[in-house]
Amino acid sequence: MHTHNVNRKTATTTPPERWGAKTFGHLIDQGHYNVACQEAAHAHYGDKFTRRDACVYFVHGAMEALGSLIGNSLKKGDNDE
């Protein structure tokens, strides 16, 4: 017996629910996490950690999280058809 909801309108969430404040908070958290990990790696290996490094690693972490979120939402969208 299949118990999944077949009505598309009620099965999918609306964009404000999917891309709300929690999503942007997650992107910022991932950016900060990436900076912290890279800062620890620089300290471990004795490399200088600059402000430029922090900016690059923050953007990289946030964009990686965004790509993951977009990929996950596309995978969910493929199942709806």
pLDDT of 10 higher than 70 = no
What span, in angstroms and rounded, lies between the C-alpha atoms of 8 and 40?
46
Over residues 23-66, the pLDDT tens digits come to 899 999 999 999 999 999 999 999 999 999 999 999 999 999 99
What span, in angstroms and rounded, lies between the C-alpha atoms of 66 and 47?
28
What span, in angstroms and rounded, lies between the C-alpha atoms of 14 and 40?
39
**pTM (global) more than 0.85:** no
Cβ burial, residue 12 (10 Å; 0-12/13-18/19+)? middle
- Locate the domains of the chain by residue range: 20-80
Cβ burial, residue 39 (10 Å; 0-12/13-18/19+)? middle
